[in-house]
Structure 1
Amino acid sequence: MTSDIPVEKLNVDEARAELADLARRLAEADDAYHRKDAPVLSDADYDALKRRNAEIEARFPDLKRADSPSEKVGAEPAEGFSKVRHARRMLSLENAFDGEEIADFDARIRRYLGLTEDAGLLYTAEPKIDGLSLSLRYEGGDLVQAATRGDGEVGENVTANARTIADIPERLTGAPDILEVRGEVYMAHADFEALNARQSDAGAKTFANPRNAAAGSLRQLDPSITAARPLRFFAYGWGVLSAPLADTQMGAIERLAALGFQTNPLTKLCNGPEEMLAHYAGIEQRRATLGYDIDGVVYKVDDLSLQDRLGFRSTTPRWALAHKFPAELAWTRLERIEIQVGRTGALSPVARLTPVTVGGVVVSNATLHNEDYIAGRDAKGSEIRGGKDIREGDWVQVYRAGDVIPKVADVDLSKRPEGAQPYAFPATCPECGSEAIREEGDAVRRCTGGLICPAQAVERLKHFVSRGAFDIEGLGAKQVEMFYRDEVLPIREPADIFTLAERDAQSVSKLKNRDGWGEKSATNLFAAIEARRTIPLDRLIFALGIRHVGESAADLLARNYLTWDAFESAMTNAQVDDGPEWENLISIDGVGKVMAESLVTAFHQTAERNSIDRLVAHLTVEPAQPRGQVDSPVAGKTVVFTGTLEKMTRAEAKARAEALGAKVAGSVSKKTDLVVAGPGAGSKAKKAQDLGVETIDEDAWLALIGA
């Protein structure tokens, strides 16, 4: 269940549940958009979901999932084309939606690079074309390969189709020996309308929009069909190069234009956020007259040497940002309010709406988050929406700006039905009847039923089989609910999943004979379960559903402990606020006291620990692999940075260390291998000295890593 409360007011359980829902819906949207060329969300809706996901991950970094949308680019390549592994990944862009975020982008870059506010820093600004990303590889001036972005790592080979596009040169003169040109395939509005008219006259399928038409045309198995479609191409970047194109982004774009590529004439050099925003406003005003679809403006640091220093996150470059155009609003009737119970017992109210179209998507549900939000106040008692409460029958404004289930942004009191009563939030669980209490400091009311509450038990099982966890094909939310209620082949805890086939073999009432099942579907389910008996360590840790431990935290723990035995032993032997195992746990950069307490508590509660042991007895847990280079001088070492770094920022130092395979810790312990101490180093440097941990200065660190 997703929420509409401001991110800073979400608690950990609500954030975890919302991230799971966002990951599922965004994965479905990616598949529909990138592989099927049939979007299920408008661009504004999709961007809003991605933004909400990023905001929650920034607020709760420990909850970041292994299948996080922020860690994904596009979708897996479609069947029917040969696959192309990109020599340099094709990444997506971080999104922004207002001027404040553009100023923050500039400030982040300056902090990362150690630049003052008055230091010169130029950016390019160009329209963000709404089309299909394409990478063109030239060798010796000849076009030898064209590939779609795919999932960023592997795309589809569409070379024959790309050769039919007039804007794509087949031969270059004066180009580097190896040149990968990247850009966007699109279709102009006039060409799109003419194509749809021809399709309609021929009784063929028409396209929903120019982007769909461009993507569907480029990904035809028959190149002659692509040749008959009016596709165009804008070049905006590059991948692998045997020689630089220029020293700046603008210079490189001009070089691409000189080589014969179409580049966007609205690309402009801007000096700081004010000029960037002014150009954005100008492009937005001209948007309807451009003749092709754009969905925002892309800003890039112009100096390519600074781009190199800034580098990349997992799926986005630090030096670029997409400033997207805003989403949409709609008004409709709130028919009734229903309560749903989540995995942690949270009672979440949902608005059931008279269906309304918002940004091209029909909306019939909206989240109301909690009783305070319904009453028109935040968790601290301050007014929201001017203090207007929400009642059944109200005329409400729906805003899709980051929620899978959109939020109710406002209420029109002039249309409130006579006799409408304030909503009375339940004090008991609608699923099991247990008391629902709201603890001090908690924004939500929770069922106290625990394991006796079927809703909580079912939601925990759904979490266990979710994409970021065991991801068992054929055992989704609907099947989990069925098996939980089943009297013959019940699944009441995760270990039951791995005894299902054995119990079915011994049962008179076979699964294959049940409604909705057959021999093939039952056999496929048992095979899918069997395939998951071997599971990576990070997925297992996340699947356990321990509070405050999201996918990002599970991955972090796996990379630090590496094996299940080491992790299990550490959690078993750790005591809250005491002992070396506790000290080692909280020294992991990214593990705070709240998460550490939750982990240790889970492994010391008898019922939960027994459930974990019963599960692991059925599994083979694959060890984790440290990330980054394995042959660097700091690979596998635990490094702590302390004091002031003078030649790079702390963020840059940490990113560099992790890229080289080191583990960066936030505190010094006996397991620390190296402390890098700058001027002003205090207690950490002293503790390193007391423990005999090697300590070096920044110059020695740079010499060690060859920087």
Structure 2
Amino acid sequence: MDKQTAQNRIDELVELLNHHAYLYYVLDQNEIDDYEYDMLQRELRGLEEQFPELIRKDSPTQRVGGMALSSFEKVEHRVQMGSLQDVFSFDEVRAFFERVASQVSDPEFVVEPKIDGLSVSLMYQDSELTVGSTRGDGFVGEDVTANIKTIRSVPLKLKKELPLIEVRGEVYMPRNAFEKLVEEQEINGEQPFKNPRNAAAGSLRQKNSKVTAKRKLDIFCFNIQQIKGEELTSHKQSLDFIKELGFKTVPDYKKVKTYDEIISCIEEIGKNRFDLPFDIDGVVIKVDSFSQRELLGATAKVPKWAVAYKFPPEEKDTKLLDIEVNVGRTGVLTPVAVFEPIFLAGTSVSRATLHNQDFIIEKNISVGDIITVRKAGDIIPEVLSVSQKLSGDAHFVLPDRCPVCGGSVERIQDEAAIRCTNVECPAQLFRQLVHFASKGAMNIDGLGPQIVRQLLDSGLINGIADLYDLTAEKLLSLEGFKERSADNLIKAIDASKSNSLDRLLFGLGIRNIGAASAKLLCERFGGLDDIISATSEQIAEIDGFGDIMAASVYNAFRDEHLLSLVERLKARGVNTSYSKTRVDNRFEGKTFVLTGTLPTMKRDEAKELIEKYGGKASGSVSKKTSYVLAGEEAGSKLVKAQELGVPVISEEEFLKMME
């Protein structure tokens, strides 16, 4: 085939395939079956391989993803990607309506579902997609163009010629795609995403766009940020227009005039929300006229011409069938309500935590009662109250012996938790081992919950120190282990022996001591023997410690079981000394607060760098904060920093400070 003939056929195939993709992914319509579509795409791919110089930017073959990126470039938004004021009651909606009606004449409103996803900008120049970026802090986002292109409902080329248009949309993960992803993650022993929104955010920020392409993301577009070549006067007109351009617009948007019509729309959307194949968390109400929006203006944070009504959590009554008592890693006895299954926020639930004995007493809960349950944030089931006292019994009382090992339990003064005192309790041991091997602690790659359970059930280990007696030969006796996987796990366990002492301290699971406080202990005292010998008063002198934390450390190392474990770990070559890793003092006296998701590093990595250069990482913003290091989806900490005038820096600026 000559080049011109190939060019003509490629153009024909691209137009045909994009037409059918638009019908399928945007309009949910089919004109040809999957096999025909695949054959056309195979023909196109073959021609492009033969004539790579003829590949078009809007070819559907360009959606599959390419080389992995090392980082995301910054994108400065020409038009701020702001947020909306949230309202939670119809009274607040009425107040918004009346305020608008008092300031502009005969206002009309557009009511639309609020998609629960990740906000993005799509920039088109000469009708071709040039940049896809995340919202970031509203002023600066990240370039995720390669990942945006993998979303089939995003047009690579518009249906009408325009010199420039920037459209805002919400990337989301459909519920069926989310369920399949979680199933795969559980099979692979990975930590599953908690909800579709987190899954969408994590998938869109993959460094390798081929991974994003497999996640089946979708998008709804709901706003024009800027445009050249077309005059638009209202929001509904703009939504109709971008639909004509080939965008998948936010569904079921309606123009209304009265307060009653607004409430009717909210109720209708709310009634059907759990039947949708995607998540929504509210309804957006916007003034339709652009000229009236200008008159209404905006505050420093939000426009005055729109609000987002957030749905209250759905509540239902059910019968409490049983109260199970679980034992956690630190020995805490946690009561769990088991009730008749109910359908809440789109899923069936039958269990919810009852927290502790005080919670049960406060709510007067006993088996047989009718309880009211809701999903906090539409995710975590929680018991609100007893709606009918049917049992006739007094409230449930936690047992005075551990339900797993039969050991005694105790309640420490000023604490709500009741704990099993037996540190060798099997329930605690499993969770202790999982925590010990976790990334924040000893970071033993490959030693996840399933392997820990397998090792315990087989009798190969009976405690933490036994991990260091394992051999590849012993592991090969377990189902699922091959020579390579056994060798890799043994290498990971051996490598953990040389970890910094603060990782070991955190891994030991001392109550009230996290990764940061473990490092402070090491900075103050050095080796583990010196920490063990320290008095409670000496520990309490550490900046950031209090009497409770100091008592936790002191009492922990008075326990003969823990001291015995320390000696066994020493005997197996686990590092118990500490070397300060400070590079220099350029950040001395400086306090950093981290917020949002950083482009290339995790927060723990950033904290480690701050401490290496003499600085301090804090969890809250105050006037004493030196810098706020902000990333993607930065929240209230960023807002507070701006209110207090605290300097806000990006990861790029932070890294330059260390050059």
| Cα pair distance change 1:304/1:521, threshold 3 Å | farther
SS at match of 1:469: coil
Q: Which residue of 2 aligns with 1:157?
A: 146
Q: Does residue 311 of structure 2 align to residue 348 of structure 1?
A: no
**Partner Cα separation in structure 2 for residue 545 and residue 619 of structure 1:** 17
Tell me, in whole angstroms, the C-alpha distance in 2 between the residues paired with 1:233 and 1:306.
25
* Alignment-mate amino acid for residue 158 of structure 1: N
The partner residue of 2:461 within 470, 490, 495 is 490
> Counterpart amino acid of 1:462?
V
Gaps of 5+ in 2: 1-62, 93-110, 175-194, 227-234, 254-258, 286-295, 593-606, 619-623, 627-643, 648-653, 655-659
Q: Does 1:599 align with 2:553?
A: yes
Alignment-derived partner of residue 637 in structure 1:
588
- Assess if the C-alpha contact under 8 Å between 2:375 and 2:381 holds in 1: yes
**1:618 paired residue among 574, 578, 583:** 574
Identify the match of residue 426 of structure 2 among 454, 457, 460.
454
* 1:545 alignment partner in structure 2: 509
Q: For residue 548 of structure 2, give the secondary structure of its aligned residue in structure 1.
A: helix
- 1:300-311 correspondence runs (5 A): none
Displacement, 1:349? 1.6
Distance 1:234 1:284 in 2: 17
Structure 2 equivalent of residue 465 of structure 1: 437
Give the Cα separation in 1 of the matches to 2:340 and 2:552: 41
The verdict on how the C-alpha distance between 1:136 and 1:366 changes in structure 2, with shifts beyond 3 A counting, is same
The alpha-carbon distance between structure 1 residues 522 and 265, as it changes in their structure 2 partners (threshold 3 A), is closer
Distance 1:213 1:636 in 2: 35
AA paired with 1:499? D
Of stretches 398-407 and 329-338 in structure 1, the one that deviates more from structure 2 is: 398-407
Check the 8 A contact 1:83/1:155 in 2, yes or no.
no
The Cα offsets for residues 490-512 of structure 1, whole Å up to 9 and x where unpaired, read as 2412x3223312xx54xxxx332
Query: How far is 1:303 from its partner?
Result: 11
Higher relative contact order, chain-length normalized (CA < 8 Å, sep 6+): 1
1:363 pairs, out of 329, 346, 349, with 349
Paired AA for residue 341 in structure 1: V
Mapping of residues 205-224 of structure 1, within 5 Å: none
Matched with 2:535 is 575
Secondary structure at the aligned position of 2:476 is classed as helix
Aligned equivalent of 1:115: none
- SS at the partner of 2:537? coil
Aligned CA distance change for structure 1 residues 286 and 360 (closer, same or farther; 3 Å): closer
When the two structures are superposed, what TM-score results if normalisation uses the length of structure 2? 0.51
Counterpart position of 1:203:
none
Rate the CA distance shift 1:363–1:187 in 2: closer, same or farther, 3 A.
closer
- What is the 5 A alignment of 1:365-444? 365-375=351-361, 377=362, 384=363, 389-401=364-376, 406-413=381-388, 416=390, 423-444=396-417
Cα distance in structure 2, aligned partners of 1:304 and 1:623: 53
Residue 325 of structure 1 is matched in structure 2 by 311
Which of 469, 494, 517 aligns to 1:499? It is: 469
Structure 2 letter corresponding to 1:497: L
User: What is the one-letter code of the residue matched to 2:402?
Assistant: C
Q: Structure 2: how far apart are the matches of 1:322 and 1:662? A: 43
For residues 638-673 of structure 1, what are the alpha-carbon distances to aligned partners after superposition, in whole Å with 9 as ceiling and x for unaligned?
A: 2599xxxxxxxxxxxxx9xx899763599xxxxxxx
Aligned-partner SS, 2:506: helix
Q: Report how far residue 351 of structure 1 moved.
A: 2.0
Q: 1:601 to 1:356 in 2, by over 3 A?
A: same
1:39 aligned residue: none
Q: 1:555 aligns with which of 516, 519, 524?
A: 516
Counterparts in 2 of 1:564 and 1:211: CA distance versus 1, 3 Å: closer
Q: Displacement, 1:547? A: 0.9
Q: Which has the larger radius of gyration?
A: 2
Task: Give the CA deviation at 1:361.
Answer: 1.8
Root-mean-square deviation (Å): 6.5
1:608 deviation in Å? 2.7
In structure 2, relative to structure 1, the CA distance for the partners of 1:134 and 1:608 (3 Å cut) is same
Mapping for residues 219-368 of structure 1, pairs under 5 Å? 232-235=220-223, 284=266, 287=269, 294-296=280-282, 324-368=310-354
Deviation, 1:543, is 2.0
Cα 1:163–1:390 change in 2 (3 A) is closer
Distance 1:129 1:576 in 2: 52
Structure 2 counterpart of 1:438, one-letter code? R
- What amino acid is aligned across from residue 392 of structure 1 in structure 2? V
- Amino acid of the residue matched to residue 130 of structure 1? D
Equivalent residues of 1:128, 1:297 under 8 A apart: yes
Show CA shifts across 1:362-419 (max 9, x none). Answer: 21222222334334x2xxxxxx4xxxx33323333222216976222233437x36x7
Q: Is the 8 A contact 2:323 2:337 kept in 1?
A: yes
C-alpha change, 1:362 and 1:137, in structure 2 (3 Å) is same
Any idea what SS the aligned residue of 2:433 has? helix
Query: CA, structure 1 residues 187+352, in 2 after alignment: closer, same or farther (shift >3 Å)?
Result: closer
- For 1:80 and 1:157, the matched residues in 2 are separated by 6
Q: In structure 2, the residue corresponding to 1:451 is in which secondary structure?
A: coil
Q: Secondary structure at the match of 2:313?
A: coil
Change (3 A) 1:543 1:296: farther
Tell me how far apart the structure 1 counterparts of residues 66 and 85 of structure 2 sit (CA, whole Å). 30
For 1:663, the aligned partner's letter is G
In the other structure, the counterpart of 2:116 is: 130
Q: CA deviation at 1:527?
A: 4.7
Q: Tell me the equivalent position of 1:695.
A: none
TM superposition shift of 1:337: 1.8
Structure 2 counterpart of 1:356, one-letter code: I
1:135 CA drift (Å): 4.8
Residue 428 of structure 1 and its aligned partner are, at CA, apart by 1.7
Report deviation, 1:469. Answer: 3.1
* Residue 549 of structure 1, CA deviation: 1.6
The answer to whether the Cα contact below 8 Å between 1:537 and 1:564 also exists between their aligned partners in 2 is no
Q: Distance in 2 between matches of 1:601 and 1:370?
A: 23
Residues 1:563 and 1:421: Cα distance change in structure 2 (over 3 Å): closer
Residue by residue over 1:519-578, the C-alpha shift from the partner in whole angstroms, topping out at 9 and shown as x without a partner, is: 56544543553565565776544322111123xxx23653x6787984747735643324
- 1:46-85 aligned within 5 A: 82-84=67-69, 85=71
1:140-170 Cα deviation digits (max 9, x unpaired): 99743446799x9795723545697359769
Q: Which runs of 5+ in 1 are unaligned?
A: 1-77, 103-124, 189-208, 239-249, 268-276, 311-320, 378-383, 642-654, 667-674, 678-697
Q: Of the candidates 430, 441, 452, which is equivalent to residue 480 of structure 1? A: 452
Give the distance between the partners of 2:447 and 2:82, measured in 1 at CA: 31
- What SS does the aligned partner of 1:594 have? helix
Give TM-score scaled by structure 1 length.
0.48
Native 8 Å contact 1:83 1:154 kept in 2: no
SS of corresponding position for 1:498: helix
- Native 8 Å contact 2:527 2:576 kept in 1: no
Distance in 1, Cα, partners of 2:431 & 2:212: 48
Letter in 2 for 1:413: Q
Matched, 1:445 2:418: yes
Q: Secondary structure at the match of 2:423?
A: helix
**Contact 1:126-1:298 within 8 A present in 2 as well:** yes
Alpha-carbon spacing, 1:335–1:94, altered in 2? closer, same or farther (3 Å)? farther
